[in-house]
Amino acid sequence: MFFTPKWKKEALLLAKGGRKFVNYKRDLLKPDRVEEIESRRDDLLKAIKANDPAKAAEAGKQLRATCENSLKYEKPVGWLEENVEVMFVAIVIALG
């Protein structure tokens, strides 16, 4: 019976997630970040192909870190700002 090791399944899912991340966020990412993510993803795929769990784990960490740090963090809107915006829109619609 043939089975795939857990580390390989997780690494393949991470590589697939990296591809999806680039496809979904390509318009928000800088071109150098896209190239860096693709490079990290290629490193992960090479480690999987070489059947090396240690290299795959390291490449996975690097890919995950690159994806997490590629977009700037935006502070969520507070309750006061949100309510002021809703009231402003309601007043504009009522006056219209």
Interatomic CA distance for residues 75 and 58, integer angstroms: 30
Q: What confidence category does residue 1 fall into, taking pLDDT thresholds of 50, 70 and 90?
A: very low
Greatest alpha-carbon pair distance for the chain in Å reads: 72
Residue 18, pLDDT score: 94
Predicted confidence (pLDDT) per residue in 50-86, tens digit: 999 999 999 999 999 999 999 887 777 788 888 999 9
Whole-angstrom CA distances from 86 to 47, 78, 83 are 51, 13, 5
Q: What pLDDT digit, counting tens, does each position of 10-49 carry?
A: 999 999 999 999 999 999 899 999 999 999 999 999 999 9
Instruction: Report pLDDT for 74.
Output: 73
